[in-house]
Structure 1
Amino acid sequence: MSLDTMKTVKNCPKNEQEWNQRAELKNCSQFHQSCTDKSNFRYHCLPNTVLQTLVEVCAPMIHASEYCCEFNSQGALVQRNYKADCRNHSQPCTNSYPSTEIFRYQECYAMNSQVAVKVGVGVDKSKNKGSGIGFGFVIPLGILIFCSILLISGWIYIRKRSNDNQHDSRHNTDEHMDETTIKLNPEDDKFYKINLW
């Protein structure tokens, strides 16, 4: 059910008031789900490491400790990001905090350097449905591979033609230049073959 509620956003709330306003707009209690108690199915705004963006989503709340939270769209769950330790932030996270209070730790939105999540950057999910590998990566890679194959094939073709032409011209020259017939004595009717090569 969480994936059905997921929407990419350009930024996440910066304080409790903004969080509560966005949570009210999202209205997670309207969604019928069976994964948790209705009161635990809550609004979240979190980095999504799969889509490399920020997402608003309704999901079961977790208690995080020492690490920033993230939404894993492949597992459809809120989880700790063990690559994002928040204990040394300017506003360090507590030993245990509810995932619905991540707005208190704004650096968590910007520190996911392994996925280049930045505050203020987002993608519209409706334009990017799929397995998590965007067309922005697959299409240029395919074009690069195609052009490389084309370039290598062209180079091989030109080299082959060049070698064939050199061989043909040498072979033709050899046929015409191997022997020559000359008359040594003008008064004599005898011709002699001389090898020039």
Structure 2
Amino acid sequence: MKKDFIMIFYIFLLYLCINQVRFGDAFTIPCNASVQTLQRVSECPTNLTAYKMAATKKNCSALAPAECKSFEYHCVLSEDLKYLVEVCAPSLYIIDRVCAKFSSTWKSVIRVHGMNCSDTDSCPYSYISTDTYKYSDCYANLSYIQPYTIEFPQSRLSKQPHI
């Protein structure tokens, strides 16, 4: 009888702990320096070649601080899910077939609860965060992503060269 009570008590405690801490958020790797590398972009790489080019251009290894475990190129959703960002951050596993975003609060790439990375089985249960380019469905279905454009002053565009 006493063993049954103890077992039930431990199960109850485990249940309380699981409900207090989101399992996926326990797998963040904060790096304060990541926030300074955050940059809005109009698109993310969709294949390995484009990923390598973008990673080379961002040059995260040159910016890597000693206190961060790793400092790798990521192109993910913004914290508010309204646009795309490039960021240098530690890589980690995204679990449960969901998309990834960068959180300034956690100073880490994290999973987006409830946002599936694919309607098909092409998205694995777990993937490394630097592989988000393989799961472009995360970005394709976001109709509210605004393209990033550079606007020039009107005076520069209106001048005609004199011949």
Aligned-residue offset at 1:80: 0.3
**Corresponding residue for 1:150?**
none
Larger proportion of helix: 1
- Whether the 8 Å contact between 1:8 and 1:123 is mirrored in structure 2 is no
3-state SS of 2:122 partner: coil
Instruction: Count residues in correspondence.
Output: 117
Amino acid of the residue matched to residue 113 of structure 2? Y
How far apart, in 2, do the equivalents of 1:97 and 1:105 lie? 10
Residues 51 and 95 (structure 1 numbering): CA distance in 2 closer, same or farther, change over 3 Å?
A: closer
3-state SS of 1:56 partner: strand
**Corresponding residue for 2:119?**
89
**Corresponding residue for 2:110?**
79
Amino acid of the residue matched to residue 104 of structure 1? K
- Whether the 8 Å contact between 2:81 and 2:101 is mirrored in structure 1 is no
After TM superposition, list the pairs within 5 Å mapping 1:88-127 onto structure 2: 88-90=118-120, 92-111=122-141, 116=144, 118=145, 121-122=147-148
**Corresponding residue for 1:16?**
48
Percentage of pairs with the same residue:
33
3-state SS of 1:12 partner: coil
How far apart, in 2, do the equivalents of 1:27 and 1:91 lie? 33
How far apart, in 1, do the equivalents of 2:127 and 2:41 lie? 23
Deviation track 1:132-182 (CA, whole Å, cap 9, x = no partner) reads xxxxxxxxxxxxxxxxxxxxxxxxxxxxxxxxxxxxxxxxxxxxxxxxxxx
Query: Structure 1 residue 4 and structure 2 residue 7: aligned?
Result: no
**Corresponding residue for 2:99?**
68
Q: Whose RCO is larger (CA < 8 A, sep 6+)?
A: 2
3-state SS of 2:125 partner: coil
Match of 2:84 among 37, 54, 71: 54
**Corresponding residue for 2:58?**
26
How far apart, in 2, do the equivalents of 1:6 and 1:30 lie? 15
Aligned-residue offset at 1:34: 3.8
Match of 1:42 among 65, 69, 72: 72
Q: Over the residues paired in the alignment, what is the CA RMSD in angstroms?
A: 2.2
Structure number with larger C-alpha Rg: 1
Amino acid of the residue matched to residue 31 of structure 1? L
Could you tell me the TM-score, scaled by structure 1's length? 0.53
